[in-house]
Amino acid sequence: MTTGPDTSPMPTRVSLSKVIADQRKTELLALGMMIFSIWFGFSAGWLVTACIAGGVLLGLVNHLATEYWLLKVIAGGGEPTRGQLTRFTIVRLCVVAIVAVGIAVVFWPDGVGVLLGLAIFRLVALVMTTIPLLKELKEQ
């Protein structure tokens, strides 16, 4: 059963503070993951735990950059084209990959924790995004 078109107001102003406020749940999760990795990871060594927490932070920055870009496109009144999505995604993921691999190489072998933290955050963020979508599909 549909209730008609979405009548929620379109954003008119794009700001990083709005994106940060809208993504509070994801930010709290990332903070919890970083605290968890530091709290329980000291047996593996401080550099590994710092790299895992850094990977989670890098994943959060990637997530917020994506949300900011999407909000900016929506506020502009247009729909992103396939080419825009592709270019933005490739540039964003290349930057994240270069930073993560660079840190992993500089702090080898403990720096691999950056890749682990990034992968864990991406997995959790994907699940957090999928669950509301599945609930919405079930209601329709």
| Predicted pLDDT of residue 8 | 52
- Distance, in Å, from the CA atom of 100 to the CA atom of 113, rounded to the nearest integer, reads 9
Q: Which of 107, 93, 97, 101 is nearest to 50 (CA)?
A: 107
pTM to 2 decimal places: 0.76
8 Å CB contact between 56 and 118 = yes
| Predicted pLDDT of residue 5 | 47
| Predicted pLDDT of residue 9 | 56
Can you give the pLDDT of all 140 residues of the chain as single tens digits? 444 444 555 556 777 788 788 788 888 888 888 888 878 777 767 788 888 888 889 998 998 888 888 888 888 777 778 888 888 889 989 999 999 999 899 988 888 888 988 998 888 888 888 888 888 888 88
| Predicted pLDDT of residue 95 | 92
Angle between helices 112-139 and 82-106 (to 10 degrees): 150
8 Å CB contact between 135 and 129 = no
- Can you give the residue ranges of every domain in the chain? 23-139
